[in-house]
Amino acid sequence: MNRTSDGPRIGFVDELKDAVSVRAAVLVIGVLALQLAFITSYIGAFHHPKPHEIPLAVVTPAAQITDQAVQRLSALPGDPLDPRAVEDEATAVRQIRNRDVDGALIVDPRGAADRLLVAGAAGASLSQALTEVIATTERAQRRTVAVVDVVPNASGDARGLSSFYLAIGWCVGGYLCAAILAISHGARPANTARALIRLGALLLYSIAAGLLGTVIAGPVLDALPGSIMALWGLGTLLVFAVGAITLAFQGLAGIVGIGLAILLVVVFGNPSAGGAYAYPLLPPFWRAIGPALPPGAGTFSARSIAYFEGNGMTGPMWVLAAWAAGGALVTTGLALLRSRRPTT
Protein backbone atom coordinates (compact mmCIF):
# COMPACT_ATOMS: atom_id res chain seq x y z
CA MET A 1 0.00 0.00 0.00
CA ASN A 2 1.22 3.52 -0.87
CA ARG A 3 0.12 6.79 0.64
CA THR A 4 -0.55 9.79 -1.58
CA SER A 5 0.25 13.35 -0.61
CA ASP A 6 -3.42 13.81 0.32
CA GLY A 7 -3.32 10.96 2.76
CA PRO A 8 -5.44 8.05 1.39
CA ARG A 9 -3.60 4.88 0.62
CA ILE A 10 -3.59 3.50 -2.92
CA GLY A 11 -3.24 -0.23 -3.51
CA PHE A 12 -1.18 -1.91 -6.19
CA VAL A 13 -4.22 -2.57 -8.37
CA ASP A 14 -5.17 1.10 -8.31
CA GLU A 15 -1.59 2.08 -9.09
CA LEU A 16 -1.62 -0.36 -11.99
CA LYS A 17 -4.83 1.13 -13.35
CA ASP A 18 -3.36 4.61 -13.12
CA ALA A 19 -0.10 3.54 -14.79
CA VAL A 20 -1.61 1.42 -17.57
CA SER A 21 -5.11 2.21 -18.74
CA VAL A 22 -7.40 -0.44 -20.17
CA ARG A 23 -7.09 1.21 -23.59
CA ALA A 24 -3.29 1.08 -23.37
CA ALA A 25 -3.39 -2.57 -22.32
CA VAL A 26 -5.61 -3.44 -25.28
CA LEU A 27 -3.26 -1.59 -27.64
CA VAL A 28 -0.24 -3.42 -26.20
CA ILE A 29 -1.99 -6.75 -26.75
CA GLY A 30 -2.70 -5.64 -30.32
CA VAL A 31 0.96 -4.78 -30.82
CA LEU A 32 1.94 -8.23 -29.53
CA ALA A 33 -0.47 -9.87 -31.98
CA LEU A 34 0.94 -7.74 -34.79
CA GLN A 35 4.50 -8.71 -33.83
CA LEU A 36 3.65 -12.41 -33.81
CA ALA A 37 1.90 -12.05 -37.15
CA PHE A 38 5.03 -10.37 -38.52
CA ILE A 39 7.23 -13.26 -37.36
CA THR A 40 4.79 -15.85 -38.68
CA SER A 41 4.41 -14.19 -42.07
CA TYR A 42 8.12 -13.83 -42.81
CA ILE A 43 9.12 -17.27 -41.59
CA GLY A 44 6.07 -18.86 -43.19
CA ALA A 45 6.77 -17.28 -46.56
CA PHE A 46 10.54 -17.79 -46.65
CA HIS A 47 11.46 -20.89 -44.66
CA HIS A 48 10.94 -23.39 -47.49
CA PRO A 49 11.02 -21.81 -50.98
CA LYS A 50 9.84 -24.25 -53.62
CA PRO A 51 9.55 -23.56 -57.37
CA HIS A 52 6.04 -23.80 -58.77
CA GLU A 53 5.11 -23.36 -62.42
CA ILE A 54 7.98 -21.08 -63.41
CA PRO A 55 7.14 -19.87 -66.94
CA LEU A 56 9.71 -21.35 -69.32
CA ALA A 57 10.03 -21.06 -73.10
CA VAL A 58 11.31 -24.16 -74.91
CA VAL A 59 13.07 -23.95 -78.28
CA THR A 60 14.17 -26.89 -80.48
CA PRO A 61 14.85 -27.27 -84.22
CA ALA A 62 11.78 -29.45 -84.80
CA ALA A 63 8.17 -29.26 -83.58
CA GLN A 64 8.09 -32.94 -82.59
CA ILE A 65 11.19 -32.59 -80.43
CA THR A 66 9.75 -29.42 -78.87
CA ASP A 67 6.51 -31.18 -77.95
CA GLN A 68 8.45 -34.03 -76.35
CA ALA A 69 10.58 -31.60 -74.35
CA VAL A 70 7.53 -29.64 -73.19
CA GLN A 71 5.73 -32.82 -72.13
CA ARG A 72 8.78 -34.05 -70.23
CA LEU A 73 9.21 -30.77 -68.37
CA SER A 74 5.48 -30.51 -67.66
CA ALA A 75 5.53 -33.95 -66.03
CA LEU A 76 8.18 -33.10 -63.43
CA PRO A 77 7.05 -33.91 -59.86
CA GLY A 78 5.62 -30.93 -58.01
CA ASP A 79 5.05 -28.91 -61.21
CA PRO A 80 8.13 -26.68 -60.83
CA LEU A 81 7.88 -25.48 -64.45
CA ASP A 82 5.23 -24.11 -66.79
CA PRO A 83 6.88 -24.82 -70.16
CA ARG A 84 5.58 -23.57 -73.45
CA ALA A 85 6.94 -23.99 -77.00
CA VAL A 86 8.19 -20.94 -78.91
CA GLU A 87 9.41 -20.61 -82.47
CA ASP A 88 13.04 -19.64 -82.05
CA GLU A 89 15.64 -18.22 -79.70
CA ALA A 90 14.91 -14.62 -80.70
CA THR A 91 11.27 -15.08 -79.72
CA ALA A 92 12.31 -16.64 -76.42
CA VAL A 93 14.61 -13.73 -75.60
CA ARG A 94 11.87 -11.26 -76.50
CA GLN A 95 9.43 -13.03 -74.18
CA ILE A 96 11.97 -12.92 -71.36
CA ARG A 97 12.46 -9.18 -71.86
CA ASN A 98 8.69 -8.70 -72.02
CA ARG A 99 8.40 -10.61 -68.70
CA ASP A 100 6.13 -13.21 -70.31
CA VAL A 101 8.49 -16.01 -69.23
CA ASP A 102 11.28 -16.23 -66.67
CA GLY A 103 13.67 -18.29 -68.78
CA ALA A 104 14.16 -20.30 -71.95
CA LEU A 105 15.65 -23.71 -72.64
CA ILE A 106 17.39 -23.93 -76.02
CA VAL A 107 17.64 -27.63 -76.88
CA ASP A 108 20.27 -28.88 -79.34
CA PRO A 109 19.38 -32.47 -80.30
CA ARG A 110 22.55 -32.76 -82.42
CA GLY A 111 24.70 -32.79 -79.31
CA ALA A 112 24.52 -33.37 -75.56
CA ALA A 113 24.71 -29.74 -74.43
CA ASP A 114 21.78 -27.32 -74.19
CA ARG A 115 21.53 -23.68 -73.12
CA LEU A 116 19.34 -22.09 -70.44
CA LEU A 117 18.57 -18.40 -70.82
CA VAL A 118 17.68 -16.63 -67.56
CA ALA A 119 17.00 -13.07 -66.40
CA GLY A 120 19.08 -12.46 -63.32
CA ALA A 121 17.47 -9.03 -62.95
CA ALA A 122 14.13 -10.72 -62.22
CA GLY A 123 15.64 -12.06 -58.99
CA ALA A 124 18.69 -14.11 -58.16
CA SER A 125 16.61 -16.66 -56.25
CA LEU A 126 14.39 -17.23 -59.29
CA SER A 127 17.19 -17.74 -61.79
CA GLN A 128 19.01 -19.98 -59.32
CA ALA A 129 15.92 -22.12 -58.72
CA LEU A 130 15.28 -22.40 -62.46
CA THR A 131 18.90 -23.38 -63.06
CA GLU A 132 18.75 -26.10 -60.41
CA VAL A 133 15.55 -27.61 -61.83
CA ILE A 134 16.84 -27.65 -65.40
CA ALA A 135 20.29 -28.93 -64.40
CA THR A 136 18.71 -31.85 -62.53
CA THR A 137 16.47 -32.64 -65.49
CA GLU A 138 19.38 -32.45 -67.93
CA ARG A 139 21.52 -34.79 -65.82
CA ALA A 140 18.70 -37.32 -65.85
CA GLN A 141 18.84 -37.16 -69.65
CA ARG A 142 22.65 -37.44 -69.59
CA ARG A 143 22.93 -33.94 -70.97
CA THR A 144 24.58 -30.74 -69.78
CA VAL A 145 23.31 -27.18 -69.74
CA ALA A 146 25.10 -23.85 -70.01
CA VAL A 147 23.42 -20.88 -68.30
CA VAL A 148 23.30 -17.51 -70.11
CA ASP A 149 22.00 -14.41 -68.31
CA VAL A 150 20.28 -12.31 -70.97
CA VAL A 151 19.08 -9.62 -68.51
CA PRO A 152 21.79 -9.35 -65.85
CA ASN A 153 21.71 -7.15 -62.76
CA ALA A 154 23.52 -3.85 -62.70
CA SER A 155 26.94 -3.90 -61.08
CA GLY A 156 25.59 -2.05 -58.04
CA ASP A 157 22.65 -4.43 -57.64
CA ALA A 158 24.43 -7.72 -57.11
CA ARG A 159 21.49 -9.80 -55.82
CA GLY A 160 18.75 -7.87 -57.62
CA LEU A 161 17.19 -6.69 -54.35
CA SER A 162 17.54 -2.94 -54.79
CA SER A 163 14.12 -2.67 -56.43
CA PHE A 164 12.57 -4.49 -53.48
CA TYR A 165 14.31 -2.35 -50.87
CA LEU A 166 13.41 0.83 -52.72
CA ALA A 167 9.73 -0.18 -52.87
CA ILE A 168 9.72 -1.14 -49.19
CA GLY A 169 11.34 2.16 -48.25
CA TRP A 170 8.66 4.03 -50.16
CA CYS A 171 5.95 2.00 -48.41
CA VAL A 172 7.40 2.76 -44.98
CA GLY A 173 7.46 6.47 -45.77
CA GLY A 174 3.84 6.35 -46.91
CA TYR A 175 2.35 4.91 -43.74
CA LEU A 176 4.65 6.88 -41.43
CA CYS A 177 3.69 10.15 -43.10
CA ALA A 178 -0.01 9.32 -42.77
CA ALA A 179 0.48 8.31 -39.13
CA ILE A 180 2.19 11.62 -38.35
CA LEU A 181 -0.64 13.54 -40.02
CA ALA A 182 -3.05 11.67 -37.75
CA ILE A 183 -1.05 12.36 -34.61
CA SER A 184 -0.96 16.08 -35.44
CA HIS A 185 -4.70 16.62 -34.93
CA GLY A 186 -6.63 13.40 -34.39
CA ALA A 187 -6.72 10.20 -36.39
CA ARG A 188 -10.12 11.00 -37.91
CA PRO A 189 -10.34 14.29 -39.85
CA ALA A 190 -13.30 16.32 -38.61
CA ASN A 191 -14.49 17.40 -42.06
CA THR A 192 -13.81 17.03 -45.77
CA ALA A 193 -11.61 20.13 -45.88
CA ARG A 194 -9.21 18.63 -43.35
CA ALA A 195 -9.30 15.28 -45.15
CA LEU A 196 -8.39 16.97 -48.43
CA ILE A 197 -5.64 18.97 -46.74
CA ARG A 198 -4.15 15.76 -45.36
CA LEU A 199 -4.34 14.11 -48.76
CA GLY A 200 -2.73 17.17 -50.32
CA ALA A 201 0.08 17.12 -47.77
CA LEU A 202 0.53 13.41 -48.41
CA LEU A 203 0.75 14.06 -52.16
CA LEU A 204 3.48 16.67 -51.69
CA TYR A 205 5.38 14.28 -49.44
CA SER A 206 4.95 11.49 -52.01
CA ILE A 207 6.38 13.61 -54.80
CA ALA A 208 9.43 14.47 -52.69
CA ALA A 209 9.89 10.91 -51.43
CA GLY A 210 9.56 9.47 -54.93
CA LEU A 211 12.19 11.79 -56.32
CA LEU A 212 14.68 11.47 -53.45
CA GLY A 213 14.36 7.67 -53.33
CA THR A 214 14.99 7.50 -57.07
CA VAL A 215 18.03 9.76 -56.85
CA ILE A 216 19.52 7.71 -54.00
CA ALA A 217 18.94 4.35 -55.72
CA GLY A 218 20.09 5.65 -59.11
CA PRO A 219 22.64 8.43 -59.45
CA VAL A 220 23.89 8.42 -55.83
CA LEU A 221 24.39 4.69 -55.17
CA ASP A 222 24.31 3.52 -58.79
CA ALA A 223 22.21 0.54 -57.73
CA LEU A 224 19.36 0.80 -60.23
CA PRO A 225 19.46 1.77 -63.92
CA GLY A 226 16.37 2.87 -65.80
CA SER A 227 14.43 6.07 -66.35
CA ILE A 228 14.62 8.52 -63.44
CA MET A 229 11.29 10.05 -64.43
CA ALA A 230 9.58 6.65 -64.55
CA LEU A 231 10.95 5.59 -61.16
CA TRP A 232 10.00 8.98 -59.73
CA GLY A 233 6.44 8.55 -60.96
CA LEU A 234 6.28 5.02 -59.57
CA GLY A 235 7.62 6.15 -56.20
CA THR A 236 5.13 9.01 -55.99
CA LEU A 237 2.21 6.68 -56.73
CA LEU A 238 3.41 3.97 -54.34
CA VAL A 239 4.01 6.34 -51.42
CA PHE A 240 0.66 8.04 -51.96
CA ALA A 241 -1.18 4.72 -52.27
CA VAL A 242 0.19 3.39 -48.98
CA GLY A 243 -0.37 6.72 -47.24
CA ALA A 244 -3.94 6.92 -48.53
CA ILE A 245 -4.61 3.38 -47.31
CA THR A 246 -3.32 4.36 -43.88
CA LEU A 247 -5.46 7.50 -43.76
CA ALA A 248 -8.50 5.44 -44.76
CA PHE A 249 -7.86 2.88 -42.03
CA GLN A 250 -7.42 5.70 -39.52
CA GLY A 251 -10.72 7.17 -40.62
CA LEU A 252 -12.37 3.81 -40.01
CA ALA A 253 -10.66 2.74 -36.79
CA GLY A 254 -8.82 5.73 -35.34
CA ILE A 255 -5.28 5.16 -34.16
CA VAL A 256 -5.81 1.41 -34.52
CA GLY A 257 -5.90 2.07 -38.26
CA ILE A 258 -2.12 2.53 -38.21
CA GLY A 259 -1.80 -1.06 -37.01
CA LEU A 260 -4.21 -2.23 -39.71
CA ALA A 261 -2.10 -0.49 -42.35
CA ILE A 262 1.05 -2.16 -41.01
CA LEU A 263 -0.78 -5.50 -41.04
CA LEU A 264 -1.70 -5.08 -44.70
CA VAL A 265 1.48 -3.50 -46.03
CA VAL A 266 4.19 -5.01 -43.81
CA VAL A 267 2.86 -8.30 -42.46
CA PHE A 268 1.06 -9.38 -45.64
CA GLY A 269 2.68 -7.17 -48.26
CA ASN A 270 6.42 -7.44 -47.67
CA PRO A 271 6.85 -11.25 -47.58
CA SER A 272 4.64 -11.63 -50.67
CA ALA A 273 6.28 -8.82 -52.66
CA GLY A 274 8.51 -11.09 -54.73
CA GLY A 275 11.66 -9.46 -53.42
CA ALA A 276 13.75 -12.00 -51.55
CA TYR A 277 11.90 -14.82 -53.32
CA ALA A 278 10.00 -14.38 -56.56
CA TYR A 279 6.33 -15.31 -56.81
CA PRO A 280 6.90 -18.82 -58.25
CA LEU A 281 8.99 -19.72 -55.16
CA LEU A 282 6.47 -18.61 -52.53
CA PRO A 283 3.80 -20.75 -50.82
CA PRO A 284 0.36 -20.59 -52.51
CA PHE A 285 -1.20 -17.99 -50.16
CA TRP A 286 1.67 -15.53 -50.46
CA ARG A 287 2.00 -16.15 -54.19
CA ALA A 288 -1.70 -15.31 -54.63
CA ILE A 289 -1.87 -12.09 -52.62
CA GLY A 290 1.50 -10.59 -53.56
CA PRO A 291 0.60 -9.02 -56.93
CA ALA A 292 -2.52 -7.41 -55.43
CA LEU A 293 -0.72 -5.53 -52.63
CA PRO A 294 1.33 -2.32 -52.92
CA PRO A 295 4.77 -3.77 -52.03
CA GLY A 296 4.44 -6.49 -54.68
CA ALA A 297 3.12 -4.15 -57.35
CA GLY A 298 5.85 -1.64 -56.50
CA THR A 299 8.68 -4.17 -56.54
CA PHE A 300 7.60 -5.69 -59.85
CA SER A 301 7.23 -2.25 -61.44
CA ALA A 302 10.60 -1.01 -60.17
CA ARG A 303 12.32 -4.05 -61.67
CA SER A 304 10.46 -3.57 -64.92
CA ILE A 305 11.57 0.06 -65.18
CA ALA A 306 15.16 -0.70 -64.21
CA TYR A 307 15.78 -3.76 -66.37
CA PHE A 308 12.87 -4.60 -68.69
CA GLU A 309 12.07 -1.24 -70.35
CA GLY A 310 8.83 -0.99 -68.37
CA ASN A 311 7.37 -4.19 -69.84
CA GLY A 312 4.63 -5.95 -67.89
CA MET A 313 3.81 -2.95 -65.70
CA THR A 314 0.20 -2.33 -66.72
CA GLY A 315 -1.37 -4.64 -64.16
CA PRO A 316 0.78 -3.54 -61.20
CA MET A 317 0.23 0.13 -61.97
CA TRP A 318 -3.53 -0.39 -62.02
CA VAL A 319 -3.21 -2.10 -58.64
CA LEU A 320 -1.39 0.91 -57.16
CA ALA A 321 -3.83 3.35 -58.75
CA ALA A 322 -6.78 1.43 -57.30
CA TRP A 323 -5.29 1.48 -53.78
CA ALA A 324 -4.51 5.20 -54.08
CA ALA A 325 -7.95 6.13 -55.38
CA GLY A 326 -9.73 3.81 -52.95
CA GLY A 327 -7.85 5.15 -49.95
CA ALA A 328 -8.50 8.76 -50.95
CA LEU A 329 -12.21 8.13 -51.57
CA VAL A 330 -12.69 6.31 -48.26
CA THR A 331 -10.84 9.06 -46.38
CA THR A 332 -12.91 11.88 -47.87
CA GLY A 333 -16.15 9.90 -47.72
CA LEU A 334 -15.79 9.16 -44.02
CA ALA A 335 -14.91 12.78 -43.31
CA LEU A 336 -18.01 13.92 -45.23
CA LEU A 337 -20.25 11.58 -43.24
CA ARG A 338 -18.68 12.74 -40.00
CA SER A 339 -19.21 16.41 -40.81
CA ARG A 340 -22.91 15.80 -41.56
CA ARG A 341 -23.64 14.12 -38.24
CA PRO A 342 -25.80 16.33 -36.04
CA THR A 343 -23.99 17.71 -33.02
CA THR A 344 -25.55 17.25 -29.60
**Would residue 29 count as lying in a domain?**
no
Helix (H, G, I), strand (E, B) or coil at 104: strand
pTM over 0.85? The answer is yes
Among candidate residues 85, 116, 149, the one where a domain is terminated: 149
**Would residue 308 count as lying in a domain?**
yes
**Would residue 154 count as lying in a domain?**
no
**Would residue 299 count as lying in a domain?**
yes
110 and 171 housed in the same domain: no
- Residue numbers of the domain that contains 129: 54-149
312 and 223 housed in the same domain: yes
278 and 325 housed in the same domain: yes
CA distance 124 to 302: 16
Q: What pLDDT score was predicted for residue 57? A: 97
pLDDT 10s per residue in the chain (344 long)?
455 555 556 666 665 556 667 777 777 888 889 889 889 988 988 888 899 999 999 998 887 888 889 999 999 999 999 999 999 999 999 999 999 999 999 999 888 899 999 999 999 999 999 999 999 999 999 999 999 999 999 999 988 899 999 999 999 999 999 999 887 666 666 678 888 999 999 999 999 999 999 999 999 999 999 999 999 999 999 999 999 999 999 989 888 899 999 999 999 999 999 998 999 999 999 999 999 999 999 999 999 999 999 999 999 999 999 999 999 999 999 988 887 766 54
**Would residue 20 count as lying in a domain?**
no
Do residues 280 and 52 touch, judged by C-beta distance below 8 A?
A: yes
291 and 336 housed in the same domain: yes
**Would residue 70 count as lying in a domain?**
yes
Strands (E), the chain: 2-3, 9-10, 54-59, 81-85, 103-106, 113-118, 144-149
CATH number at residue 65: 3.40.1710.10
CA distance 261 to 250: 9
309 and 231 housed in the same domain: yes
195 and 67 housed in the same domain: no
**Would residue 90 count as lying in a domain?**
yes
251 and 290 housed in the same domain: yes
Task: Say how many domains are in the chain.
Answer: 2
For strand 81-85 and strand 113-118, is the pairing parallel, antiparallel, or unpaired? Answer: unpaired
119 and 254 housed in the same domain: no
CA distance 246 to 157: 31
238 and 109 housed in the same domain: no
281 and 178 housed in the same domain: yes
Task: Give 281's DSSP letter.
Answer: G
Q: What pLDDT score was predicted for residue 181? A: 87
Do residues 94 and 76 touch, judged by C-beta distance below 8 A?
A: no
Report the candidate in 324, 188, 338 with the shortest Cα–Cα distance to residue 256.
188
**Would residue 46 count as lying in a domain?**
no
Among candidate residues 149, 174, 205, the one where a domain is terminated: 149
Q: What pLDDT score was predicted for residue 344? A: 47
326 and 215 housed in the same domain: yes
Distances (CA, A) of 4 to 1, 8, 12, 15, 198: 10, 6, 13, 11, 44
Q: What pLDDT score was predicted for residue 42? A: 87
Q: What pLDDT score was predicted for residue 18? A: 62
123 and 184 housed in the same domain: no
Among candidate residues 99, 128, 149, the one where a domain is terminated: 149
